[in-house]
Amino acid sequence: MDFKLGPKHLELQQKVREWCEKEVMPRAQEFDRKEEFPWPFIDGLRKLGLLGIPFPKKYGGQEIDAVGLVVILEELGRADASLALLVESHNGLCSNHIFIAGNEEQKNKYLTRLAKGEVLGAWALTEPGAGSDAQSIKTTAVFDGKDWILNGSKTFTTQGSVAGTYVIMARTVDPTGKPGMTAFVVDKGTPGLEVGKKEKKMGLHASDTAQLHLTDMRVPPSQVLGKIGGAFRDVMKVLDAGRVAISGISVGIARASLEEGIRHVKPRKEHFRIAADQPGLSSAGRLLADLATEVDAARLLAYRAAALLDAGEKFTMAASMAKLFSGDLAMKAPTIVLDLFGFEGATLDNPVQRFFRDAKLYQIGEGSSQIQELIISRHLLAD
């Protein structure tokens, strides 16, 4: 058992870290305040190959393993959780669904463009009345003998208004009358696909989140991803892998919070003493020590889940454990560090308040903490 990253992962980590520190971190606060999509960063992501991280080179990807993906997303999460979410959702949701369920023609047509960063991808599952329960979606697709006709609405779609390629889930009935869920891949500008309201969110201001409205949208059979009525299983595969990836972002948020806490406390150590006549460890020191321990624990959980995924072993419970622990820590770490800052933490110039606002999504997205607890408990109590 080796707890050290190999040379390739360390090189990847350093390359992404240097780019983030030079290009992203100096401007992350600006995009957050203006609530602007960070278009200036897209070219950098493209040049670094970060829009096609795990996919084969024949499709324009980088063939980086799941551990490498977690390494990358931790660095991006440390710099800007909005940008990290863009990379994670583009790779792990939209593109990965096409990779998992698409045929060779679809992969060559859609995945190649996504992996090269020619377009951004969006994955449309969530609806106003269907969040954690994916099977309760209301969007329908009816086959008229020539095309599938889609009607319905999607909400909280990441990259919803900026994507060039969409993977959309809908309820269908197969030729035998059996109901199910089917995935469709469509291009921006498809008649009947309308971008609705762009959401104004508590955090992740630089991440594009929008509603989609589907009105008699005609989709030919060639754009069905996988089997008709068989998308639910593919969605679960996508989400399992996505939970490994998103854990890396949560670790990055927690790590960034810890680093800001250390930076704040170190020159003020004497102010954080328990008492003037007691030279022992400060209360702040204890908090930072506990946080540092939990950040390492969260990272190791994410690495374990990623290593199981890379090895082709069962990883669902490990992914849920990593997502649960790291997502809760992403919220806990900035909360604690803001307390250390006191009134200074309430200013918008303080990056920790951004970490705090951004972190909530990582307890909710791709399966809430409660859903992860349910998944873990089912594995523990299974026969």
Spatial CA neighbour of 167 closest among 152, 181, 187:
187
Q: Is there a contact between 120 and 292 (Cβ–Cβ < 8 Å)?
A: no
Encoding tokens for residue 367? 């399966």
The Cβ-side half-sphere exposure at 278, using a 13 Å CA radius, reads 9
Cα torsion angle, 374, 375, 381, 383, sign: positive
Q: Is 105 a catalytic residue?
A: no
Please give the DSSP secondary-structure letter assigned to residue 271.
Answer: G
Q: Which amino acid is at 111?
A: L
Q: Residue 35: what are its φ and ψ, rounded to 5°?
A: 55, 50
294-300 contacts, C-beta under 8 A, 24 or more apart: 294/254, 294/329, 294/332, 294/333, 295/251, 295/254, 295/255, 295/258, 295/329, 295/333, 297/325, 298/247, 298/250, 298/251, 298/254, 298/322, 298/325, 298/326, 298/329, 299/74, 299/251, 300/3
Contacts of residue 382, Cβ cutoff 8 Å, sequence gap at least 6? none
Instruction: Give the CA angle between residues 39, 43, 47 to the nearest 5°.
Output: 155
Catalytic residue (one of 104, 127, 366, 373): 366
For strands 165-173 and 179-187, give the pairing.
antiparallel
Q: For residues 360 and 362, give the distance between their C-alpha atoms in angstroms, rounded to a whole number.
A: 5
- Tokens 């900035």: give the residue: 334
DSSP conformation letters of 296-351: HHHHHHHHHHHHHHHTT---HHHHHHHHHHHHHHHHHHHHHHHHHHGGGGGSTTSH
- Tokens 């754009």: give the residue: 223
Farthest CA pair distance, the chain: 84
Instruction: Give the CA angle between residues 321, 325, 326 to the nearest 5°.
Output: 115
Residues with a catalytic annotation lie at 366
